[in-house]
Structure 1
Amino acid sequence: MRISHQYRLLPTAEQAALMKRWLDMLRAQYNYRLGQRFDWYSQTRCRVSACPLTCSIVPVEEIFKDIRSEMIGKSGYVNWKAMQQGALPETKVERPWYKDIYSQVLQDCIHRVDKTFERYVFGDKNGNRSGKPRFKGKGRYRSFTYTQMKQDSLALNRITLPKIGDVKLILHRPLLDGFKIKTATVTLKADGWYLTLSLQDDTVPEMIQPTVEPRWDNSIGIDLGLEKFAADSEGEFYDAPRYFRSQEERLALLQKKLDATTNFRAKKRLKIPIAKLHQKIARRRKDFHYNTAKKILSKAEVVFVEDLAVKNMSRRCKPRPDGKGGFAANGQSAKSGMNKSIADAGWSQFIEILTVKAESAGQRVIKVDPKGTTQHCSECLNQVPKELASRWHSCPHCGLQLDRDTNSSVLIKKVGLGVASLKKARKRSQRCTA
């Protein structure tokens, strides 16, 4: 099993200055190596299906003449990772200041370039390609990684980082017995430096997929929302804390001061409280998600949640041309407020935390198609149309009266258990209206 522990680092002023210098040099190296990848890609690819006749076609042999044959793999694809890592000794000769950086840290920089570019060219294991990689501006490269660490490097409240020295840290929890340090990542955050240790113990098996079978008495349905963060099928509500909304005015005031400042040093100072406030909001939201997940998992072994496409829900409205060279109103101004509330709620992060905590406890989280769960009665399954502003469910068919979100959570549970089928209910309602 592999786990991670994060600790607060307390470096001296000299150590902090050295680590910041490392980050700046690593950022420059990252951009340089990424630029090399783009140059190769532009030389061996064409955006159209045919080469233009107005320029000469460069032979493949000319492109690869300076590349060793063992670096060229199948289909003429260059093993850029091995090639760029092999060029690091030459880089240290041409730019001697790179000798100050530990060799494994430099190699990890190349690994990050390779990983980013591979996702762009070939996609992930599911075939989904990422967008074109971007060069990192100042302050956008915030961490570096030691890919190997000595097991005795951590002692008491200090850790020995190669070429940096003994750095003090707050060891708020000890390492688990049997786990060995595999990698160490140093990260610069808004409030200081942090160390993330990746720990591994081969004797501890990886988490096994839970096999608990969902039943009515051991399961619960969860409906996520904005008015209330969540409602469960037992009638309990979880209020939305709205951490970003509560600090929105303060953030706007700080941002206004930043925009009005022209002095470079003053701008740099003002960016610090803004970054710290964003960090505080994110941490409070994450803590709320963990506490809510713990409370929900204490109620049932199986949790049914909506399979929400959050990215699509917060997507901008399509422009509506008015036929006169302009654009008609498309409702984006009103929707932008809802998009902000969706981001503030953090549904995706909550579902991810809920799933991880459930698996570690031998419980299950099952995603259910949410289509129709707000527009049908959980008792008789008849369609009961409701506007978004209507927060109460009143069924004219069976007389069921309850909160809209509670009705949805009960229906999510029934659909997840296979007790109810909204597809059949929709077909039945269509026959009745016909």
Structure 2
Amino acid sequence: MLVLEYKAVIKKAQSTAIDEAIRTSQFVRNKVLRYWMDNRGVGKKELYQYNTQIRSEFKFVNNLNSHACQASVENVERAINRFFDNCKKKTPGKKGYPQFKKHSRSVEYKVSGWKLHPTKRRITFTDKKGIGELKLLGKWDIHQYPVELIKRVRIVRRADGCYVQFCVKSATGEYPRGELHVKLDNQQDAPLTTSVIGIDVGLEYFYSDSEGKHEENPRYLRKAEKDIKRVQRNIYKKKKGSSGRTKARGIYARKHLRVTRQRNEHAKRLARNLTLANAKVVMEDLNISGLVRNHKLAKSISDASWYNFRQWLEYFGEKFGREIIAVPPHFTSQECSNCGARVQKSLSTRTHSCPHCNHIEQRDVNAAKVILNRANGRGGQPRTNASGDVLPTSVGRKTCKSKERQ
């Protein structure tokens, strides 16, 4: 599934209508979830029937497109299924019991309730919420994809405005559209290479690879923290409920949004370069949610954004037909990459010195070589690809693109 995002140019009345649509979608979700909580054992059919009952009972819900209401029910269904799956798998810790939404920021339409302009980048929402026509700003040309393949349209509100997302179903091959043939798959040709690399993510460096190179950790949140705290203090200097307080909260939110985008662009750039330059990239299968429970390192780990980096690695691995492997992370920092002996060392020890073979190397580089050796020796663990409806990341098995080139 490809996601194309555009910035929407909206008027004040349209902004109010979008907020109303988002609140209605949240209302439907919470009502359906409450119905499930009060009537244990009800299934998918009963949830959709209750959604129909809500639409007939509340006029403001009926004004929202019926498919948008169904999308809210689907969100509840996914949350319930995820909870039961975690219970069956005996996932340690909290199982993710479905929670009520308090501050939703998006509303999702399916295949109805919206209409694209035939030539211009404009979209019109046709339900009774009064959103109307929105002008779209962005570099993507949505008209190169057939309308039949647009399965979802979302309106997402962020700190700096509203965005419209198109979820386009990807397919293999070409789709005839008049005289044009549109390539619908998300795979692209990449330069042939046989290079393999292992990477070890860290806090001193963003990552170190098996070739001895280090990528500096940008620490975007740490650099912006002083400015963010100053802006945050300005919020509490304003009177509650005043327009000045609302404006100060918006400035504060945009500061955090900037940091989030910096992290994302940094991870995307590095992941793209790594997958283009190497036929196989090996990394650790880290449990990020468990690592951030360490309150002394949680902020630094979140600022490094390791999980986002892995998501982009898996995405570009599928896109360019590269092999992305995740290996168990146990004792990668303790083992010697030269002889395999386990050498105990603390976090403050930054140099690996093996007493068995006298091998001396920077700690993170040694760990990266150990990670690469593990993939070459016994493989890693299959993991779900974070890019969506694509093949899972697996070890010992190349992606489809790689198979075609062999």
TM-score (norm 1): 0.74
Q: Kindly indicate whether the alpha-carbon contact (under 8 Å) linking 1:84 and 1:110 is maintained by their aligned counterparts in 2.
A: no
Task: Confirm whether residue 409 of structure 1 aligns to residue 372 of structure 2.
Answer: no
For 1:307 and 1:30, the matched residues in 2 are separated by 34
Task: Confirm whether residue 161 of structure 1 aligns to residue 125 of structure 2.
Answer: yes
- Pick the aligned partner of 1:252 from 216, 220, 229: 229
Which amino acid counterpart does residue 70 of structure 2 have in structure 1? Answer: Q
**Which residue in 2 is equivalent to 1:221?**
198
For 1:371 and 1:176, the matched residues in 2 are separated by 49
Quote how far apart the aligned CAs of 1:354 are. 0.4
**Which residue in 1 is equivalent to 2:176?**
none
**Which residue in 2 is equivalent to 1:284?**
262
Task: Confirm whether residue 170 of structure 1 aligns to residue 137 of structure 2.
Answer: yes
Change (3 A) 1:110 1:381: closer
Change (3 A) 1:123 1:373: closer
**Which residue in 1 is equivalent to 2:251?**
273
Is 344-353 or 294-303 further displaced after alignment? Answer: 294-303
Q: SS of the residue aligned with 1:155?
A: coil
Aligned ranges 1:40-79 → 2 under 5 Å: 40-41=39-40, 77=43, 79=45
Quote how far apart the aligned CAs of 1:189 are. 0.8
Q: SS of the residue aligned with 2:277?
A: coil
For 2:280 and 2:89, the matched residues in 1 are separated by 27
What are the superposed Cα offsets for residues 22-65 of structure 1, whole Å, 9 maximum, x if unpaired? Answer: 22233233323322222213xx7xxxxxxxxxxxxxxxxxxxxx
**Which residue in 2 is equivalent to 1:350?**
309
Which amino acid counterpart does residue 36 of structure 2 have in structure 1? Answer: R
What are the superposed Cα offsets for residues 379-410 of structure 1, whole Å, 9 maximum, x if unpaired? Answer: 12223322211112223333323211111111
- Pick the aligned partner of 2:152 from 172, 183, 189: 183
Q: Kindly indicate whether the alpha-carbon contact (under 8 Å) linking 2:54 and 2:61 is maintained by their aligned counterparts in 1.
A: no
RMSD of equivalent CA atoms: 2.9
For 1:171 and 1:255, the matched residues in 2 are separated by 31
Change (3 A) 1:290 1:103: same
Which amino acid counterpart does residue 304 of structure 2 have in structure 1? Answer: A
For 1:99 and 1:292, the matched residues in 2 are separated by 46
**Which residue in 1 is equivalent to 2:276?**
298
Change (3 A) 1:293 1:260: same
TM-score (norm 2): 0.79
- Pick the aligned partner of 1:131 from 96, 100, 109: 96
Quote how far apart the aligned CAs of 1:159 are. 1.2
Q: Kindly indicate whether the alpha-carbon contact (under 8 Å) linking 2:276 and 2:320 is maintained by their aligned counterparts in 1.
A: no
Quote how far apart the aligned CAs of 1:152 are. 4.6
**Which residue in 1 is equivalent to 2:402?**
none
**Which residue in 2 is equivalent to 1:85?**
51
For 2:172 and 2:88, the matched residues in 1 are separated by 27
Percent identity (aligned): 26
Quote how far apart the aligned CAs of 1:176 are. 6.8
Quote how far apart the aligned CAs of 1:145 are. 1.4
> Which is greater in Rg?
1
Q: Kindly indicate whether the alpha-carbon contact (under 8 Å) linking 1:34 and 1:113 is maintained by their aligned counterparts in 2.
A: yes
Q: SS of the residue aligned with 1:271?
A: helix
**Which residue in 1 is equivalent to 2:330?**
371
Q: Kindly indicate whether the alpha-carbon contact (under 8 Å) linking 1:81 and 1:111 is maintained by their aligned counterparts in 2.
A: no
Which amino acid counterpart does residue 365 of structure 2 have in structure 1? Answer: T
What are the superposed Cα offsets for residues 197-235 of structure 1, whole Å, 9 maximum, x if unpaired? Answer: 011254548779xxxxxx9x6311101100001001111
Quote how far apart the aligned CAs of 1:301 are. 0.3
Which amino acid counterpart does residue 82 of structure 2 have in structure 1? Answer: R
Q: Which has the higher contact order (CA 8 A, sep 6+)?
A: 1
Quote how far apart the aligned CAs of 1:86 are. 2.4
Count of matched residue pairs: 356
For 1:165 and 1:104, the matched residues in 2 are separated by 17
Quote how far apart the aligned CAs of 1:417 are. 0.5
Change (3 A) 1:257 1:157: same
